[in-house]
Amino acid sequence: MHPKRYNNLHEIKQLDAVSDHCQIYHLMTGYEFPWDMVRSLEVALMRTFCVPSVSKLLDKTQEFNKRPQKRYDDTSIIVVEISKWGYDDTRGKQAIERMNAIHSRFKIANEDFLYVLSTFIYDPIRWNARFGWRAMCDNEKLSSFYFWREVGIRMHIQDIPETYEEFERYNLDYEEKYFRFAESNRRVGEATQNLFLSWFPSWMHSALKPATLALLDDSMLDAFGFEHPSNFLRNAVANSLKIRARVLRLFPPRLTSDFYIDSPIRSYPDGYEIANVGASGKED
């Protein structure tokens, strides 16, 4: 164990989860768990496609079929701009304004907005419980709730639960009620799976394709209509992530941030302006 590995955790525990949630969330996402946050939010993204009302809208726009990498990058940029700078910073405000402008072109139910918002809180927490190099402390879990609740308010989402426990219950009840198979789920899910595979050499695709499903739970696989991976494959993928976590404990603390937007982005090799993120040539 590196002697300074828990420096950020000590700082986080001294902060207040309510008043300091932006600072805590910044440390979590950019310094403590950057890779894990990206991967867990990819799973969260897939979870939202298990809801027919969500997948039908995405399937209708054809964004994931025609421009999957750009759709992925646009979503990532907006989320990470808010996470890195905070919702009241100039860039964070611009990202929320851009997100609201994009969403305003579609008729989206408030309950769907609420669910998607909840996945940003609870999917990273659940990922961390399985694969984190250390467990998130209560301050980190609560700061995630307070951070995204404030973002939700700025998105004009109604009836956001007021406590961590209430919102988690909403998340679980919603999935039980609305996770159902639909052909649109399958089409959007397959397009996203193909996007993930495109990041690797083609000769690896046949081996990696079932592995991309190994972290999806049974309710997700059924909603997509995907074949369930073998228990052997599920365990192999999970164990590899647990080994990675144990190795990370030996590393020194990160001294510079590692947000998604800190590295070159495939769809924007020359950089981007927040006001143009998400543009498809069919802007209102």
pLDDT, residue 102, reads 93
The mean-pLDDT minimum among 137-141, 170-174, 208-212, 219-223 falls in: 208-212
Instruction: Give the CA distances from residue 189 to residues 38, 55, 168, 237, 278, in Å, rounded to whole numbers and listed in that order.
Output: 18, 9, 24, 20, 20
The mean-pLDDT minimum among 225-234, 235-244, 270-279 falls in: 270-279
Average pLDDT over residues 196-209: 93
pTM for this predicted structure? 0.94
Other beta carbons within 10 Å of 106 = 10
pLDDT, residue 53, reads 95
Residue with tokens 């209102």: 284
Which of the pair, 62 or 231, is modelled with greater confidence?
Answer: 231
163: DSSP letter:
S
Other beta carbons within 10 Å of 172 = 11
pLDDT, residue 280, reads 64
Average pLDDT over residues 206-229: 95
Average pLDDT over residues 190-198: 95
pLDDT of residue 281 exceeding 60, the answer is: no
pLDDT, residue 267, reads 93
b/e per residue 239-264 (b: at least 16 CB within 10 A): eebeeebeebeeeeeeeeeebbbeee
pLDDT tens profile 61-91: 888 788 899 999 999 999 999 999 999 999 9
The token pair that represents 227 in the structure block:
């074949």
The token pair that represents 269 in the structure block:
């090799």
Average pLDDT over residues 143-153: 98
pLDDT tens profile 29-57: 999 999 999 999 999 999 999 999 999 99
Percent of the chain with pLDDT over 70: 98
pLDDT, residue 38, reads 95
Average pLDDT over residues 180-201: 96
pLDDT of residue 158 exceeding 50, the answer is: yes
